Amino acid sequence: MQRYFRHVIGLISVIIAIAAAGCASDKVLVNTNANAQDRKTTANDPQAALQVSDISIPPGAKLDAEKSLVIGTGERWLGRLVIKTDISSVHAYNHFFNGMPAIGWSLIAAIQSNVSQLTYLRGERVVIVQIESGWFGGTTITISASPRQSSGNEAKAAR
């Protein structure tokens, strides 16, 4: 019986280790707001190719390249950026809540819960920031950027 429990505990430990390893990523996201000399990137670094410069990224955030899809660069990129960070979801929420207006984004809507969501507008673009606590600690942040949808009145006036 004792041998059985050792096997079960060993199996559970292996499953937890595999799950934790699957959540890990060694790709640190480059915040292009930083000084160019401070960025130590190479042509093979996927984050260097992103060049997302108009989003307030938490320090130490890591890119989940498999779940991200970014088209464009600088302040004209569109798509989905998925990052993971070791900070709590509350700290991540506060980071975006305070950081995005500081770089010119206007808050449209905010929902703070188990899965928080912040919606921002700047010019002709909308950004939605979704913040979710991870099972084993840390936080997953999904940032979606798209063109602003024109209202029916704007479309009629353009005709």
pLDDT band with cut points at 50, 70 and 90 for residue 156: low
And the tokens for 151?
């209202």
Counted domains in the chain: 1
Residue 16 belongs to some domain of the structure: no
Residue 118 belongs to some domain of the structure: yes
Residue 14 belongs to some domain of the structure: no
The pLDDT, as a whole number, for residue 134 is 87
- CATH number of 105's domain: 3.30.310
Residue 73 belongs to some domain of the structure: yes
Where do we find the tokens 């900070």? 87
120: β partners: 107, 127
Task: Find out whether 107 and 118 touch, Cβ atoms under 8 Å.
Answer: yes
**Spatial separation of the C-alpha atoms in residues 17 and 35, rounded to whole Å:** 37
pLDDT band with cut points at 50, 70 and 90 for residue 43: very low
Q: pLDDT tens digit string along 98-138? A: 999 999 999 999 999 999 999 999 999 999 999 999 888 89
Residue 99 belongs to some domain of the structure: yes
Q: pLDDT tens digit string along 45-83? A: 334 446 788 898 998 889 998 999 999 888 889 999 999
Residue 2 belongs to some domain of the structure: no
Is 34's pLDDT higher than 50? no
Residue 76 belongs to some domain of the structure: yes
Alpha-carbon distance values, 90 to 51, 93, 95, 97, 116 (Å)? 26, 5, 9, 10, 9
The pLDDT, as a whole number, for residue 51 is 74
Q: Give me the domain span that covers residue 127.
A: 28-158
Is 152's pLDDT higher than 70? no
Residue 88 belongs to some domain of the structure: yes
Please give the sequence-ordered ranges of beta strands (E in DSSP) within 8-105, or none if there are none: 62-63, 69-71, 78-85
